[in-house]
Amino acid sequence: MKNTAILLISCPDQRGLVATIAEFLYRHNANILHADQHQDAELKLFLMRVEWDLADFQLDLDAFSQHFAPIAERFEMDWRLALSGNRPKLAIFVSRYDHCLADLLYRHQAGELHCDIPLIVSNHTDTRWLAEAHNIPFQHIAIHKDAKAEAEKDQLALLRHEHVDFIVLARYMQVLSPEFIRHYPNRIINIHHSFLPAFHGAKPYHRAFERGVKLIGATSHYVTEVLDDGPIIEQDVARISHRDQIGDLIQKGADLEKIVLSRAVRWHIESRILLYANKTVVFD
Amino acid sequence: MKNTAILLISCPDQRGLVATIAEFLYRHNANILHADQHQDAELKLFLMRVEWDLADFQLDLDAFSQHFAPIAERFEMDWRLALSGNRPKLAIFVSRYDHCLADLLYRHQAGELHCDIPLIVSNHTDTRWLAEAHNIPFQHIAIHKDAKAEAEKDQLALLRHEHVDFIVLARYMQVLSPEFIRHYPNRIINIHHSFLPAFHGAKPYHRAFERGVKLIGATSHYVTEVLDDGPIIEQDVARISHRDQIGDLIQKGADLEKIVLSRAVRWHIESRILLYANKTVVFD
Amino acid sequence: MKNTAILLISCPDQRGLVATIAEFLYRHNANILHADQHQDAELKLFLMRVEWDLADFQLDLDAFSQHFAPIAERFEMDWRLALSGNRPKLAIFVSRYDHCLADLLYRHQAGELHCDIPLIVSNHTDTRWLAEAHNIPFQHIAIHKDAKAEAEKDQLALLRHEHVDFIVLARYMQVLSPEFIRHYPNRIINIHHSFLPAFHGAKPYHRAFERGVKLIGATSHYVTEVLDDGPIIEQDVARISHRDQIGDLIQKGADLEKIVLSRAVRWHIESRILLYANKTVVFD
Amino acid sequence: MKNTAILLISCPDQRGLVATIAEFLYRHNANILHADQHQDAELKLFLMRVEWDLADFQLDLDAFSQHFAPIAERFEMDWRLALSGNRPKLAIFVSRYDHCLADLLYRHQAGELHCDIPLIVSNHTDTRWLAEAHNIPFQHIAIHKDAKAEAEKDQLALLRHEHVDFIVLARYMQVLSPEFIRHYPNRIINIHHSFLPAFHGAKPYHRAFERGVKLIGATSHYVTEVLDDGPIIEQDVARISHRDQIGDLIQKGADLEKIVLSRAVRWHIESRILLYANKTVVFD
């Protein structure tokens, strides 16, 4: 794999943006590998992802910020630089359902996810064997109804200790507090089932079955303080017929959740996702 | 096409049902072409669709009811007999959006829909040309805010006059009154957009766009007195990305609506749909 | 899970078939849970799958064959009885690609596949760790170019010793000899990539990439003596764009292969597949 | 709709390309609305589509070529400029199957296809009524086995007379000669069915049915001298089960063909397709 840099930009749309950015990269001899941009006509917003080979790049990355600052200021850019050589550190939170965890661990082992996983946190011990089979540290932090804040404190301490960059809720059945979420803004990825029409409350597969839906879906999104309402990263559906019993719905749903979550995690790792106005642009 | 009879049955599940029905048909020399059944284990319900060739059938269809009555009573059956030779009469209701109407008329002309269409009703005149191009009678019944009941009366008179069997709302933008619906129970098919998550109220495509959904969907259902909450017949989705503008969403949505509605209409015509507990079984 | 029996029948289509089978089951007090049938109008063939609860069934299963024989003879049936209580024994063959193996082992562990796996056979040792993590016996049988027959003999000995019922080729990259296949007719399931148009020969993903296909697919089928031409059990596709590099194609292909193969294996285990005229009916 | 210009470029990949193009557009005050690019790493090729608002553009379009020439030469560009204000002229060729024709005419009427259709050519008269319902000139040119060249001459004369820009074969069942194709290189779009595995020769739906495929597909491509082997523009599939009879396959296939062809035609009209190495990049 090539050693690359990825520049992510969002700013008010105006003329000269692309010319200026492209000129800056060209001046420092960047060999652009991928470039993608998007304009939101209504919000007059410009978003860009550009990735280049670091092989012949003539600017010291430590000095990038300093050199790029005048451009960033002129165009009021919100920007960040990601390096393919820096493997982000992922912590996986899980409860009892293990299908998403198993899928992520397999993909990690297979080299599909370019990240490190220094930590699995669970409020149960059911999945410890999976963590051990993949040689990933497993931490059991029980959640007691009256001591949730305490548990979150312990979780945060572990996350800090491992310098975790982002968190994946792989069917973690506890609601995180706003305080917790604020520590990892737009860096917590969740997966949940989705239906047409939507069902709220408990046992959604049972309710979808009763309603006779012909499709079930799954949605992966960033976690914000409003439950299940953060920016959507990916969605997919599977077909259902009257021949499918509740058990079939749950199994098809689990397969969907695995696929949808793993796509979202991969895109996050590869710095393909830009956020604005509570939605995402995925530069795939 | 063969001349066939279709028997649709729903009743409490119990032993001996299939044996009794199959024996009855065999005794009268029915050549079964298709048979499909479904059991709802929770509700202990049995549903069946059986279709046979009328060529060698030795029971006069006029006497079918009388001969089948003892079986029906014994098993407390809800049943009906449909004949492929009887083309049901369809009335299409439409407002201004014409994509579903054009699609249904094309399919009818192409021989895909084995029904007669004696009537198109619209509260606008925009689609008159389409009706005329396909030689289908078009009736314009304007809907005035304060005279909706009057307009429905006129519609019902037309429907009765044409002996209409079922109605398709091909993007008909008026809400039908419960009184109207009661005249055609489970015989009015509607199509509407569906989203994950669901959006209520006006301009749903705009709201889906703002929310950054990655899929849009369409649902066809029978109309009941609870708006958009009748038994679902069919659903499908299309993929959306940030590259799709609102216009693209609307166009992809229109394509979905056509496909989903036409499937629902065809299944209804072919007596493939059984209803129970506010949901459908589609014997496809 | 209920203790059930599944009767699979294929025979020339004729009147009285369903009546006779249903009467037989009713006479012995079978509580039918699922029944599905299919008629091939052109070949005049009848296929049926019927599953009933054994709880109140009044016929000793050891005597089933004897009691059912007259019916089977009369209708020239090809039939077999499967019992949900008998977990079939599966051997998995694998080479180096481990995505299908890992997926099957996870699903087995999660209780999705109601079978026993007494044996994993590989011509490499790369996947031994996976077998060990799941506590499944792993046998390495190297394939030497000039001693393939010998290797197959060893494989067959292992299969016999474990009383294996069916084999899944989870990306096993060796061609099995016709002799080997004859030991497990319609009991070897394979998975391979599929493209529109088709590509033969080596490096198909590279050729699909060069050809600029917009879809890639996977097909699971029973292995017959004609390579990759056995009865198709399941197929699916994934969407590709010019943004996908060869690595993306291979990964999307691997995800497809897992899903498609696991469906085929589950249907086989649940006795949902009937074969005729080199094709399958899947009673899902 | 905005009045825009679209610049399509393909050239050897090298540094400074984007900077130079962006600077050129910026210098002439172009307000870029969309820009998309693609790099083929193996072939070291750069492809770009950039669209800008002409409202404030300060370069006379007649002089564009002259001003852009130095850049084009320096980077050895293959390029062209398209204007959204120029509606391309489309001729539709059709035989007897009318589903694709009806779909294209409906979409054209509905404003989905920003082109003019001055001509429908058919070797049959079955679809004349459709052309007339949409007020499109219809020309019947019979194809006699021994006088095919003559017929093509007549077709070419009509195309020239109407200044046709591109041709859509909407299920036109005649093979065009290489001579004919050379007049419209990469400007003839075809649609055909696709299967996994592929079937060659006559009655493909019948053969797919016999083979028991679980998916059927459709492919739209540019016509080249090698039959059905031109650059693929779009593909899609539909799911099939044993319950689908040949008639169902044909109908599902027809629905697919309509959708896939209409996408390809729209992308062509909107100058979204770039060709290289016998494949397409679709900047959607």
User: Does the beta-carbon distance from D279 to C41 stay under 8 Å?
Assistant: no
CB contacts of C99 in chain A (<8 Å) are: 106, 110
How many C-beta neighbours within 10 Å does residue B144 have? Answer: 9
Out of D219, D231, D284, name the one closest to residue C196 (CB).
D219
The residue from D32, D60, D83 where one domain ends is D83
Q: Which of B50, B83, B116 lies at the terminal end of a domain, its last residue? A: B83
Q: A116 with A243, same domain?
A: yes
At residue B21, the 3 state secondary structure works out as: helix
Query: How many beta-carbon contacts under 8 Å exist across C and D?
Result: 83
Shortest CA distance from B284: residue in chain D: D243
What residues in C contact D281, CB-CB < 8 Å?
Answer: 242
Residue D282 contacts C where some CB pair is shorter than 8 Å: yes
For residue C200, what pLDDT is reported?
67
- Write down which chains contact chain C via at least 3 CB pairs under 8 A: A, B, D
Question: Using the beta-carbon criterion (under 8 Å), do B217 and A219 form an inter-chain contact?
Answer: no
Q: What confidence tier does C21 reach under pLDDT thresholds 50, 70, 90?
A: very high
Q: For B259, which of D102, D112, D255 is closest by C-beta distance?
A: D255
Range of the domain at C44: 4-83
Q: What is the pLDDT of residues C104-143, one digit of tens each?
A: 999 999 999 999 999 999 999 999 999 999 999 999 999 9
| Peptide bond preceding D12 in cis form (omega within 30 of 0) | no
DSSP state string for D69-114: HHHHHHTT-EEEEEETTSPPEEEEEE-S--HHHHHHHHHHHTT-S-
Averaged pLDDT for residues D222-238: 91
Q: Are residues A266 and A148 in the same domain?
A: yes
The whole-chain average pLDDT of chain D stands at 95
Catalytic residues of C: 228
Q: What local confidence, expressed as pLDDT, does residue B15 receive? A: 93
Q: For A29-52, what is the mean pLDDT? A: 94
Please indicate whether, in this complex, the C-beta atoms of C106 and A112 are within 8 angstroms of each other: no
Convert the pLDDT of each residue in C152-210 to its tens digit: 999 999 999 999 999 999 999 999 999 999 999 999 999 998 887 776 678 888 888 98
Domain boundary, last residue among D53, D83, D113: D83
Model confidence pLDDT, tens digit, residues A95-114: 999 999 999 999 999 999 99
> What per-residue confidence (pLDDT) applies to C202?
80
- Which of C22, C33, C41 has the CB atom closest to B22's CB atom? C22
pTM for this prediction: 0.95
Residue B272, pLDDT score: 97
The separation between CA D178 and the C-alpha centre of its own chain, rounded to angstroms, equals 18
Q: How far apart are CA A92 and CA A169, in angstroms?
A: 6
Q: What is the pLDDT of residues D31-87, one digit of tens each?
A: 999 999 999 988 999 999 999 999 999 999 999 999 999 999 999 999 999 999 999
CATH of the domain at B15: 3.30.70.260
Q: State yes or no: pLDDT of C91 exceeds 70.
A: yes
* pLDDT band of D200, cuts 50, 70, 90: low
Q: How many domains does chain C fold into?
A: 2
**Which tokens belong to A106?**
């397999």
Residue C2 has pLDDT above 90, yes or no: no
Interchain CB distance below 8 Å, C243 and A284? yes
Establish if B81 touches chain D: CB-CB under 8 angstroms.
no
Long-range contacts of C150-156 (CB under 8 A, 24+ apart): C151/C123, C152/C176, C152/C177, C152/C179, C152/C180, C155/C93, C155/C121, C155/C180, C156/C180, C156/C183
CA angle D44, D49, D51 (to 5 degrees): 160
Q: Do D71 and D144 fall within a single domain? A: no
Check residue C246 and give its pLDDT: 92
As for the ipTM of the complex, it is: 0.91
| A108 and A202 co-located in one domain | yes
Residues D165 and D45 in one domain: no
**C-alpha span between C184 and A25 (Å, rounded):** 62
Torsion of CA D263, D266, D271, D272, to 10 degrees: -30
Strand-by-strand arrangement of the A166-169 sheet: A138-140, A116-122, A89-94, A166-169, A188-195, A215-222, A232-239
Residues C253 and C120 grouped into a single domain: yes
Q: Residues D120-177: pLDDT tens digits?
A: 999 999 999 999 999 999 999 999 989 999 999 999 999 999 999 999 999 999 999 9
Residue of D nearest to B259 (CA): D255
Contact A110 C99 (CB under 8 A): yes
The whole-number pLDDT of residue B256 equals 95
Using the beta-carbon criterion (under 8 Å), do A102 and C99 form an inter-chain contact? no
Contact list in B for residue D99 (CB cut-off 8 A) is 106, 110
pLDDT at B16: 94
Closest Cα in chain C, distance from residue B8 (Å): 16
Report yes or no: C263 and C113 within 8 Å, Cβ to Cβ.
Answer: no
What is the band of A226 on the pLDDT scale with cuts at 50, 70, 90?
Answer: confident
DSSP state of D193: E
**Pairing label, strands C279-282, C273-276:** antiparallel
Give the separation between CA C88 and CA C95, rounded to whole angstroms.
Answer: 23
Does B32 contact C41 at a Cβ distance shorter than 8 Å?
no
**B206 and B101, same structural domain?**
yes
CA B83 to chain D, closest CA, distance in angstroms equals 20
Asked if D30 lies within 8 A of A37 by C-beta distance, the reply is: no
Among candidate residues A78, A228, A236, A248, the one labeled active-site is A228
- Percent over 90 (pLDDT), chain C: 89
Please tell me whether residues D96 and D69 are part of one structural domain: no
Residue D204: its pLDDT value, please? Answer: 85
Q: Kindly determine whether residue B194 and residue A196, on different chains, have CB atoms separated by under 8 Å.
A: yes
Interface-testing mutation among D103, D250, D252, with chain B (most B C-beta atoms within 10 A): D103
CB nearest D23 (choices: A19, A37, A41):
A19
CATH number of the structural domain spanning residue A277: 3.40.50.170
Q: What residues of chain A lie within 8 A of the CB of B217, using their CB?
A: 196, 215, 237
Best mutation target among B49, B215, B249 (most A Cβ atoms within 10 Å) is B215
Return d(Cα D267, Cα D283) in angstroms, integer.
8
Interface of B with A in 13-42 (CB under 8 A): 38, 41
- Which residues face B89 on adjacent strands? B116
D180/D245 same-domain check: yes
Checking D71-79 for CB contacts under 8 A at 24+ apart, the result is: D71/D20, D71/D21, D71/D24, D74/D20, D75/D11, D75/D12, D75/D14, D75/D17, D75/D20, D76/D11, D76/D12, D77/D9, D77/D10, D77/D11, D78/D9, D78/D10, D78/D11, D79/D7, D79/D8, D79/D9, D79/D10, D79/D11
Query: Would you state the pLDDT for residue D214?
Result: 95
B-chain CB neighbours of A237 within 8 Å are: 196, 215, 217, 237
Inter-chain touch C284–A243, beta carbons under 8 Å: yes
Contacts of B232 in chain A (CB under 8 A): 211-214
For residues C96 and C174, membership in a common domain is answered with yes
Q: For tokens 């060659």, name the residue.
A: D200
pLDDT tier for residue B199 given thresholds of 50, 70 and 90: low
In the block, which residue shows the tokens 């080596």? C202
Catalytic residues of D: 228
What single string gives the DSSP state of each residue in B93-110? EE-S--HHHHHHHHHHHT
Cβ distance A151 to A194 under 8 Å?
no
Give one word for C196, left, alpha or beta, with left for phi > 0 and alpha for psi -120 to 50: beta
C188 in the same domain as C229: yes
Catalytic residues of B: 228
For A:41-60, CB contacts with B below 8 A are 41
Q: Is B116 on the interface with C (CB under 8 A)?
A: no
Closest residue to C198, CB basis, from D197, D236, D277? D197
| All chains having 3 or more CB pairs closer than 8 angstroms to chain D | A, B, C
Using an 8 Å CB-CB cutoff, list chain A residues near B253.
Answer: none
- Name residue C95's amino acid: S
Cβ–Cβ below 8 Å for C18 and B16: no
Quote the minimal CA–CA distance from B92 to chain A in Å: 24
D70 shares its domain with D116: no
Contact list, B207 vs chain A (CB under 8 Å): none
- pLDDT-derived band of residue D229, with 50, 70 and 90 as boundaries? confident
Of C98, C106, C243, the CB nearest to A102: C106
Q: Chain C: nearest CA to B83, how far in angstroms?
A: 20
Region of residue B231 (phi > 0: left; psi between -120 and 50: alpha; otherwise: beta)? beta
Across the interface, of A18, A33, A39, the residue whose CB is closest to D22 is A18
pLDDT at D201 over 80: no
The per-residue pLDDT for D203 is: 86
Give the pLDDT of residue A154.
98
Inter-residue contact B81 to B57 (CB < 8 Å): no
A227 in contact with chain B, both atoms CB, cutoff 8 A: no
Poorest-pLDDT segment among A115-129, A224-238, A252-266, B41-55: A224-238
Q: Which of D102, D112, D284 is nearest residue B106 as measured by Cβ atoms?
A: D102
Percent of chain D residues topping a pLDDT of 90: 89
- What amino acid is encoded at D276 in this protein? Y
Q: Which chains touch A (3 or more CB pairs under 8 A)?
A: B, C, D
The whole-number average pLDDT for the span A2-15 is 96
